[in-house]
Amino acid sequence: MTKRLKVEVWSDIVCPWCAIGDRRLKTALETFPYRDDVEVVWHAFELDPSAPAVRGGDSVEHLARKYGRSTVETRQMIQRVIDTAAKDGLDLKLFEARGGNTFDAHRVLRLAAARGVHDAVKDRFFRAYFAEGEPIGDRDVLARLAGEAGLDVAEVQSLLAGDRYADEVRADEATARSIGVTGVPFFVIDGRFAVSGAQPSEALLQVLDRAWTSATPAR
């Protein structure tokens, strides 16, 4: 029987560290010798469940209020994230990003997983939010982006008009709370090894190696 290694990831579309963590996990898996035996499962996590569908106003001022910092400090903080992402080959235009509620985006990602195009839709959402200034909480925008990534637009629109996958998204978030997830990205490998934050790809590779070795019976 072929061994399978399950990697679970709690993530949010508007989280820059999640985009960085996604890139670093991909990099780690590229050099992991058993990549074909790894199943990556993404789970929903909302950084701000109370956010409006599309947040207006200045994003820097919003973050400054949220974290209790000056606008100068907040701009410096954002720039540090941009610079970190650039080292991983990501061009994050965080000053132009248009924040908003991500609950519907997570529901669409559930549909994408069911249709076998989760990675394509996830990557399209990340690129739209972080590089193109798209309002990821706008349902029309979500339907268009999902269509570009391989989903049927009419099916996405039907999903967004109802509450399909709402329970599954809430279940993901409930599980996160139950295991003590307070920030994302958060990785659980083989159900036993937890990694919090966008750790370097080398660190993720080490955990993958450890998980694989510990789960493989000695001969």
Domain boundaries, the chain: 5-215
Q: In what order do the strands lie in the sheet with 186-189?
A: 38-44, 5-11, 186-189, 193-196
Q: Quote the pLDDT of residue 218.
A: 52
Mean pLDDT for all residues in the chain: 95
Where is average pLDDT lowest: 56-60, 99-103, 178-182? 56-60
pLDDT tens digits, 117-140: 999 999 999 999 999 999 999 999
* 217 — pLDDT class (breaks 50, 70, 90): low
Claim: this prediction has a pTM higher than 0.85: yes
Task: In whole angstroms, give the CA distance from residue 110 to residue 160.
Answer: 12
Cβ atoms of residues 5 and 40 within 8 Å: no
pLDDT tens digits, 169-190: 999 999 999 999 999 999 999 9
**In the CATH scheme, what architecture does the domain 5-215 have?**
3-Layer(aba) Sandwich (3.40)
